[in-house]
């Protein structure tokens, strides 16, 4: 049932109070009266009035003083002042303090009633303006963290509520408080959430209407919630979109005894519809962003695959060209090793030539394997054993450049599952990049740290070199991408490493700040644990340094 419009008539003359009460009551208005300003204020504190009609001169508290006090309690209520001793100064003071109009006695009843209709129409327009302002706020922002608190604040003011809150349903079906106005204490916020949960049990998407509850201190369902006992009237409205309950809107009156009206419930329905649309739009935006990211990832993967295919064709031709001279180098090295009269130093150098030639051959084969996506050999090897040859190869270069290597590999680390020679190539490429990034740097440091994470091994290579610019971070694993000068790099090292690790069910990622170094983090599956009796006693983690 619709609640009537309530008007308060304040006048020390009984005849005026009775006249206006009779006339306004005949027009279906609900009329209350007060003989002075103090009595009127008590009524305004406890009830919601749409309009106050007051005399200026009254005992105990005059009309202008009462007007100022009423506006502090309820800024939205319209006040018409009337007096038989009117002056322009009094009228100006009344208007400055927020009066809707100033009328001189005696007044013509029909004209006065028309003025009352205008004042009430203005009061209704204020509500519509508030809803319009909310709509503008929705149009001006797309961020929930900005929109929802704004909507809670607007709705609280327009509905004449002491507090308002917006609760949302999370992906798991739980309810959480997304925004609130007029509530500061955590306990009261949790109490409002409990009120929303009760509404959630009764809500049905097919019947998305709201309800007015209260007073809650007389509701047995809330007997165990002392923080809800101060609620005298409450609106709870489900936020529904396309048959789905996305959350709840709640507005409460705790100081005013006047309950919410059916008209205010309709206004709340408009707010609930707007909030539900905001939540629905945000959900669609999230889904769209996820789809865009998925498409972007697929596109990047496709581009990467195409580049690998192109690299495969190039590598096949290069492999043929490299293998021929490599065969000659290895053959002459073997002939020289088998001849007599070599010094020990010459023999070591020839063996190094032979070893590195063999390694070059393996690198070419690995490149072909990556481009053709062949599965690597299944084996397990200790990380230290894979790292050692790569570090040994760079040992003299790092010493001459005064670059320090800090290595921390726990002795009880399980072996790594995969092809040791291919993984050695990955580590060589990463170390080579770090060396180039620290070119000419005083106090260069390369940190290599490994740790176990469940059934995975994580190895971090961190240097303090020149770093990688933000625009290049996403390109470092692309085939042929390089920032090095012409003739100084092919752009295949990290791309090849990325391919090898992917075939090993591993990953590689990079962290960097331009000018402050870079870190490459490799993640690989751990191999089977060695037998218990074959493990060495656990000691302090190995720490290797060279300069």
| CATH number of the domain bearing residue 507 | 3.30.565.10
Tokens of 347: 């023999």
Tokens of 471: 């625009």
In a domain, 478, yes or no: yes
**Last residue of one domain, picked from the residues 261, 284, 307:** 284
Tokens of 186: 């955590």
In a domain, 508, yes or no: yes
Q: Which of 68-82, 125-139, 439-453 has the lowest mean pLDDT?
A: 125-139
In a domain, 279, yes or no: yes
**pLDDT value at residue 449:** 94
Question: In b/e form, how buried is each residue of 46-66, taking b as 16+ CB within 10 angstroms?
Answer: eebbbbbbbbbebeebbbbbb
Tokens of 279: 């939540």
**Last residue of one domain, picked from the residues 89, 112, 131:** 131
pLDDT band, very low/low/confident/very high, at 126 (cuts 50, 70, 90):
low
Residue 101, pLDDT > 70, answer yes
Tokens of 425: 């190539």
pLDDT tens per residue, range 22-59: 888 888 888 899 999 889 988 888 888 888 988 888 88
Output the CA angle 391-378-459, nearest 5 degrees: 35
pLDDT tens per residue, range 444-465: 999 999 999 989 999 999 999 8
**Last residue of one domain, picked from the residues 131, 156, 188:** 131
Residue 538, pLDDT > 80, answer no
The whole-angstrom separation of Cα 64 and Cα 185 is 36
In a domain, 319, yes or no: no
pLDDT tens per residue, range 311-342: 666 666 666 677 778 888 888 888 888 887 78
Q: Which domain holds residue 167?
A: 137-284
Q: Are residues 102 and 198 in the same domain?
A: no
Output the CA angle 164-165-169, nearest 5 degrees: 155
**pLDDT value at residue 369:** 59
Q: Are residues 239 and 181 in the same domain?
A: yes
Residue 191, pLDDT > 50, answer yes
Using DSSP's 3-state secondary structure scheme, residue 432 falls into helix
User: Average of pLDDT values for 521-541?
Assistant: 66
pLDDT tens per residue, range 135-170: 555 544 556 777 888 888 888 887 889 999 999 988
Q: How far is CA 494 from CA 148, 230, 395, 433, in A?
A: 46, 66, 21, 9
Helix axes 262-338, 144-159, angle to 10 degrees: 170
Q: Are residues 127 and 150 in the same domain?
A: no
| pTM of the shown model | 0.43
**pLDDT value at residue 252:** 93
The distance from CA 68 to its chain's CA centroid, rounded to whole angstroms, is 45
CATH number at residue 95: 3.40.50.2300
The whole-angstrom separation of Cα 134 and Cα 278 is 12
**Per-chain mean pLDDT for the chain:** 79
Q: Are residues 414 and 471 in the same domain?
A: yes
DSSP string for 207-264: B---EEE--GGG-GGGTT-GGGTT-SEEEEEEEEETTEEEEEEEEEESS--SPPPHHH
**pLDDT value at residue 168:** 92
pLDDT tens per residue, range 482-511: 766 554 555 667 877 888 888 888 999 999
The whole-angstrom separation of Cα 38 and Cα 450 is 79
Q: Are residues 159 and 108 in the same domain?
A: no
Q: Are residues 15 and 56 in the same domain?
A: yes
Q: Are residues 166 and 256 in the same domain?
A: yes
Helix residue ranges per DSSP H, 97-185: 109-140, 144-159
The whole-angstrom separation of Cα 68 and Cα 366 is 87
**pLDDT value at residue 442:** 84
Question: Burial of 28 by CB count in 10 Å (0-12 exposed, 13-18 middle, 19+ buried)?
Answer: exposed
Question: Burial of 187 by CB count in 10 Å (0-12 exposed, 13-18 middle, 19+ buried)?
Answer: exposed
Total number of domains constituting the chain: 3
Cα dihedral 299, 305, 310, 312, rounded to 10, equals 170
CATH number at residue 237: 3.30.450.40
Q: Are residues 156 and 88 in the same domain?
A: no
In a domain, 332, yes or no: no
Q: Are residues 452 and 381 in the same domain?
A: yes
Q: Are residues 268 and 189 in the same domain?
A: yes
Q: Are residues 144 and 127 in the same domain?
A: no
**pLDDT value at residue 540:** 40
CB of 7 closer than 8 Å to CB of 24: yes
Q: Are residues 121 and 180 in the same domain?
A: no
């Amino acid at each position: 049932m619709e609640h009537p419009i309530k008007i308060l008539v304040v006048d020390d003359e009984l005849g005026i109070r009775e006249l206006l009460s009779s006339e306004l009551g005949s027009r279906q208005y609900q009329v209350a009266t007060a003989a002075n300003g103090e009595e009127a204020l008590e009524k305004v504190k406890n009830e919601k009035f749409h309009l106050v009609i007051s005399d200026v001169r009254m005992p105990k508290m005059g009309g202008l003083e009462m007007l100022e006090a009423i506006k502090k309690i309820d800024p939205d209520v319209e006040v018409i002042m009337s007096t038989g001793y009117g002056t322009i100064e009094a009228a100006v003071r009344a208007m400055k303090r927020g009066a809707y109009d100033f009328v001189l006695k005696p007044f013509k009843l029909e004209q006065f009633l028309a003025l009352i209709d205008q004042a009430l129409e203005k009061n209704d327009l204020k509500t519509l303006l508030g809803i319009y302002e909310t709509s503008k706020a929705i149009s001006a922002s797309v961020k929930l963290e900005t929109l929802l608190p704004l909507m809670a604040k607007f709705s609280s003011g327009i509905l004449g509520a002491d507090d308002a809150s917006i609760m949302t349903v999370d992906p798991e079906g739980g309810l959480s408080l997304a925004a609130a106005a007029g509530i500061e204490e955590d306990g009261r916020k949790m109490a409002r959430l409990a009120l929303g949960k009760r509404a959630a049990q009764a809500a049905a998407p097919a019947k998305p209407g709201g309800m007015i509850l209260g007073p809650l201190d007389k509701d047995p369902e809330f007997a165990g919630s002392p923080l809800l006992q101060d609620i005298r009237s409450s609106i709870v409205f489900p936020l529904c979109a396309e048959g789905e309950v996305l959350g709840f809107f709640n507005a409460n009156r705790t100081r005013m005894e006047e309950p919410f009206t059916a008209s205010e419930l309709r206004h709340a329905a408009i707010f609930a519809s707007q909030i539900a649309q905001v939540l629905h739009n945000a959900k669609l935006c999230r889904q769209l962003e996820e789809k865009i990211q998925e498409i972007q990832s697929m596109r990047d993967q496709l581009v990467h695959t195409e580049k690998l295919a192109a690299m495969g064709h190039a590598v096949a031709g290069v492999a043929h060209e490299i293998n021929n001279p490599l065969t000659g180098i290895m053959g002459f090295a073997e002939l020289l090793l088998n001849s007599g009269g070599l010094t020990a130093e010459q023999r070591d150098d020839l063996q190094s030539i032979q070893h590195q030639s063999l390694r070059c051959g393996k690198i070419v084969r690995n490149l072909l394997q990556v481009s053709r996506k062949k599965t690597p050999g299944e084996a397990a090897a200790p990380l230290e054993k894979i790292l050692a040859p790569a570090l040994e190869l760079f040992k003299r270069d790092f010493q001459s450049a005064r670059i320090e290597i800090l290595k921390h590999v726990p002795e009880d680390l399980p072996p790594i599952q995969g092809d040791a020679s291919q993984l050695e190539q990955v580590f060589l490429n990463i170390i080579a990049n770090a060396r180039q990034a620290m070119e000419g740097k005083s106090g260069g440091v390369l940190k290599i740290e490994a740790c176990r994470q469940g059934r995975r091994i994580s190895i971090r290579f961190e240097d303090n070199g020149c770093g990688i610019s933000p625009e290049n971070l996403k390109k470092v694993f692309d085939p042929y991408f390089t920032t090095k000068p012409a003739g100084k790099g092919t752009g295949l090292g990290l791309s090849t490493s990325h391919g090898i690790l992917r075939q090993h069910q591993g990953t590689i990622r990079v962290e960097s700040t331009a000018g402050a170094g870079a870190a490459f983090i490799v993640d690989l599956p751990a191999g089977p644990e060695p037998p218990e009796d074959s493990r060495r006693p656990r000691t302090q983690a190995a720490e290797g340094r060279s300069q």
